[in-house]
Amino acid sequence: MSTNFFEFREKLTARRGEPPAAMEAAPGKPQPAPLTVTQLTFQIDRAIRAGMPGTVLVKAEVSNFKPHRGSGHWYFTLKDSQTCIPCVMWKSDAERVRFEARDGMELLATGQVRVYQEQGKYQLYVTRLQPLGQGALELAFKQLHARLETEGLFALERKKPLPLYPSRIALVTSRGTAALQDMLKVFERFPWVRLCLVNVPVQGDGAAERIADALRRISRPGARCGNVDVILLARGGGSLEDLWAFNEEIVARAIAASRIPVITGVGHEVDTSIADLVADYHAHTPTEAAQVAVMHWRKAGADVEAHAARLHRSMRGLVQDAGRRLELIERHEAFRRPRDRVEQLRQLLDDRQRSLQLSVDGLIESFRQRIAATEQGLATAGNERLRRDRERLARLTAALSEQHPRHAAGLAAARVATLELQLRTVVSNCLQRQALKVDLLARHLTAVGPEQVLRRGYSITTLKKGGKVVRSIDQVKPGDHLLTRLADGEVESTAEDKNQPGLFE
Would you say 232 and 172 are in contact if contact means Cβ atoms under 8 Å apart?
A: yes
Q: Which CB contacts under 8 angstroms, 24+ apart, belong to 459-463?
A: 459/484, 459/485, 459/486, 460/484, 460/485, 461/485
Homologous superfamily of the 140-298 domain (CATH): Succinyl-CoA synthetase domains (3.40.50.261)
What angle is formed at CA 438 by the lines to CA 436 and CA 443, rounded to 5 degrees? 95
Q: What is the pLDDT of residues 303-316, one digit of tens each?
A: 777 788 888 888 88
Mean predicted confidence (pLDDT) in 363-376? 89
Antiparallel, parallel or unpaired: β 281-283 and 460-463: unpaired
CA 400 to chain CA centroid, Å, is 77
**Would you state the pLDDT for residue 85?**
87
Q: Where are the domains of the chain?
A: 37-133, 140-298, 332-377, 455-494
Q: HSE of 447 in the Cβ direction (CA atoms, 13 Å)?
A: 6
- For residues 212 and 198, give the distance between their C-alpha atoms in angstroms, rounded to a whole number: 12
* 3-state class (DSSP) for residue 169: strand
Nearest to 278 by CA among 151, 133, 114, 415: 151
Position with higher pLDDT, 163 vs 2: 163
- For residues 144 and 273, give the distance between their C-alpha atoms in angstroms, rounded to a whole number: 11
pTM reported for the whole predicted model = 0.41
pLDDT level of residue 22 (50, 70, 90 thresholds): very low
Would you say 64 and 82 are in contact if contact means Cβ atoms under 8 Å apart?
A: no
- For residues 242 and 205, give the distance between their C-alpha atoms in angstroms, rounded to a whole number: 10
The sign of the dihedral angle between the CA atoms of 461, 467, 472, 478 is negative
pLDDT level of residue 61 (50, 70, 90 thresholds): confident
Position with higher pLDDT, 502 vs 449: 449
Q: What is the pLDDT of residues 209-267, one digit of tens each?
A: 888 888 888 888 777 777 888 888 888 877 767 777 787 888 888 888 888 898 888 87
- State the CB neighbour count (10 A cutoff) for residue 99: 21
Mean predicted confidence (pLDDT) in 161-180? 86
Q: Which fold has domain 37-133?
A: OB fold (Dihydrolipoamide Acetyltransferase, E2P) (2.40.50)
pLDDT level of residue 140 (50, 70, 90 thresholds): low
Q: What is the pLDDT of residues 388-435, one digit of tens each?
A: 888 888 888 877 766 767 667 777 888 888 888 888 899 888 988 888
Nearest to 214 by CA among 177, 258, 172: 172
- For residues 461 and 468, give the distance between their C-alpha atoms in angstroms, rounded to a whole number: 9
- State the CB neighbour count (10 A cutoff) for residue 266: 30
- For residues 463 and 476, give the distance between their C-alpha atoms in angstroms, rounded to a whole number: 8
Would you say 183 and 232 are in contact if contact means Cβ atoms under 8 Å apart?
A: yes
- For residues 311 and 317, give the distance between their C-alpha atoms in angstroms, rounded to a whole number: 10
Position with higher pLDDT, 369 vs 458: 369
- For residues 463 and 208, give the distance between their C-alpha atoms in angstroms, rounded to a whole number: 49
**Would you state the pLDDT for residue 415?**
86
